[in-house]
A and B are shown apart, each in its own frame.
Chain A
Amino acid sequence: MTETLTEMLVIFIKIVCALVWLLALTLYLTWLERKESALIQDRLGANRASIFGIRIIGLFQPFADAIKMIFKEDFVPPFSRKFLHTMAPFISFFFVAITIAAIPFGDTLRIGNRTINLQILDFNVGLLFILAMLSLGIYGIIISGWASNNKYTLIGGLRGAAQVISYEVALGLSLIGLIMVYPSLRLSSIVLYQGELLFGFLPKWGIFLQPLGFGIFLFAALAETKRVPFDLPEGESEIIGFFTEYSGLKWGLFMMTDFMEVIIVSTLLTTLFFGGWQVPWLASDGFHFPWGGELLLPHVVVILLQVAAFNIKVFFFCWLQILIRWTYPRFRYDQVMDLGWKLLVPLSLVNIIGTGIIMTI
């Protein structure tokens, strides 16, 4: 009985920790977006938000934004489908937030004789689960576009649907090569496979085994986040997009969904192609360098190093995605379709065939 209770408590703590991690990172990703874009454009960025005159380079800005959004009027247009209009942002938010359940943050932690998997749920179809949930997230956009009963939101929602079809195929196909190399859909075992060494010195990360797959996945995943190079559903500069009729916290949920998708895509890139929580040459008892020499570390330090490595990789990819968002102009509607169907899908098929040939040889 106590065993079940502790088990439940552990899972509960894991859920809380993962969600807090995700939401805090989302909050500060808005700050990072402002600051990074400012640095890229030789500006300063938001630095005025202060508590008792203390500014600390605008670190309080996300809180100011959140307070502003909470106190704004939550307007539901009289001509909209009210129930669906209210549901849409929550659907969008939920399907992105739930994917964090399958992300492995680190190896198994041993406390006493209890082993804790640093992952909320260790699915054996973890990868499929994440892809499915990310695709379901588009329903929030389509529903919001339709329920707002406005021409522009409808166009935004339809564009979102069209975009999903054109990149989701490539997204799935680009991962098939990876699944062939690491014969598993369980994310924790994919990460474990990446701890092995290639030619005795190179960590067996996905980027070294599947460089083409990585490129395709990066493009498709950028389209997945629906941010600027692929921001067709939103289209700030032409149609205002699927959240035209939203205000206050509901709009904020859509915005947070965008940033959470950036984080989820970063965690996926990290987990699948950059070894997840693996530190090069770090085994469960310490470093074993390929040139000989060892550095043995206690278990807790190893786990901390792994979680830190995971976080650093995720931060790097968040940074990279914001850099891409502030560097490149947006694609036209038909160009995204072209890119998806005429370039990414054939390339991913080539990748699958090439991987198969190399594996049989």
Chain B
Amino acid sequence: MIKALGYFIEIIRGGLITTRHFVVNLFYHILKVLGIKTKRKGSVTIQYPEQKKEIASRHRSLHRLMTRPDGKPRCVACMLCVTVCPSECIYVEAAEDPDPEIQKYPAKFIIDLGRCCFCGFCVEACPEDAIRMDTGNVEFAQYSQQDLIYDLDKLIG
């Protein structure tokens, strides 16, 4: 009986906690509507399309290819990223570069984002720091799968 009474008191306390949340949040919402600025907000919601959360610096977002000072890609078509990629979404076609210091450059560099799992292994594997995933762009949804296949122009630009 005593135990049941204890439960009953806890039930009431639970109701009071939600009531407190309701009243406090309503109070701050009303202050906001009245135009009074407060440090605390009525909700923790981030209203996404208008309001965006800052992406962490280590967040793996859309890939980009780095360029040399003369505008050509840094990539030497060593195929390490192609080898390490677990979802096999990178396709590189090598071509010979006239510069003997570089030897090879990618004639084609295609990432199929529809397959990519954003593990970041390609970035880890790259010896030339040619591919990075630091654009901070996470909004590249498309209506067709074809639009998700990114080639050299898109990756550099």
Contact = CB atoms under 8 A, between A and B. Distances in A.
A39 B15 contact: no
Contact of A43 (B11, B14, B19, B44): B44
A124 to B, nearest CB: 37
Nearest to A38: B43
Interface stretch (A141-149, A244-252, A285-293, A321-329): A321-329
Contact of B43 (A36, A43, A323, A327): A43
A16 interface: no
Contacts of A41: 21
Contact of A323 (B15, B25, B44): B15
A39 B45 contact: no
Nearest to A329: B14
B42 A39 contact: yes
B22 to A, nearest CB: 5
Interface string B11-54: 10011011101100110010000000000001111010000000
A44 B22 contact: no
Contacts of B43: 38-39, 42-44
Contact of A42 (B11, B15, B21, B47): B21
Interface string A60-86: 000000000000000000000000000
A327 B14 CA distance: 7
Contacts of A44: 43, 45, 47
Nearest to A343: B4
A38 B47 CA distance: 14
A39 B25 contact: yes
Interface in A1-53: 36, 38-44
A43 B29 CA distance: 11
Nearest to A324: B15
Contacts of A324: 15
A39 B19 contact: no
A40 B25 CA distance: 8
Contacts of A327: 14-15, 17-18
A36 B18 CA distance: 10
A31 to B, nearest CB: 15
Interface residues of A, number: 13
Contacts of B29: 39
Contacts of A36: 22
Contacts of B26: 39
A41 B25 CA distance: 9
B22 A40 contact: yes
A42 B44 contact: yes
A328 B14 CA distance: 8
A40 B18 contact: yes
A101 to B, nearest CB: 33
Given A39-B42, A328-B14, A323 B22 contact: yes
Nearest to B25: A39
B87 to A, nearest CB: 35
Contacts of B11: 328
A41 B24 CA distance: 11
A184 B15 CA distance: 34
Nearest to B47: A44
Nearest to B15: A327
Nearest to B19: A323
A-B pairs with lowest CB-CB distance, top 10: A44-B45, A327-B18, A39-B25, A40-B18, A44-B43, A39-B22, A40-B21, A42-B44, A40-B22, A327-B15
Interface of B: 11, 14-15, 17-19, 21-22, 25-26, 29, 42-45, 47
30 contacts: A36-B22, A38-B43, A39-B25, A39-B26, A39-B29, A39-B42, A39-B43, A40-B18, A40-B21, A40-B25, A41-B21, A42-B21, A42-B42, A42-B43, A42-B44, A43-B43, A43-B44, A43-B45, A44-B43, A44-B47, A323-B15, A323-B19, A323-B22, A324-B15, A326-B18, A327-B14, A327-B17, A327-B18, A328-B14, A328-B15
Given A40-B18, A328-B15, 9 more contacts: A39-B42, A40-B21, A42-B42, A42-B43, A44-B45, A323-B18, A324-B15, A327-B18, A328-B11
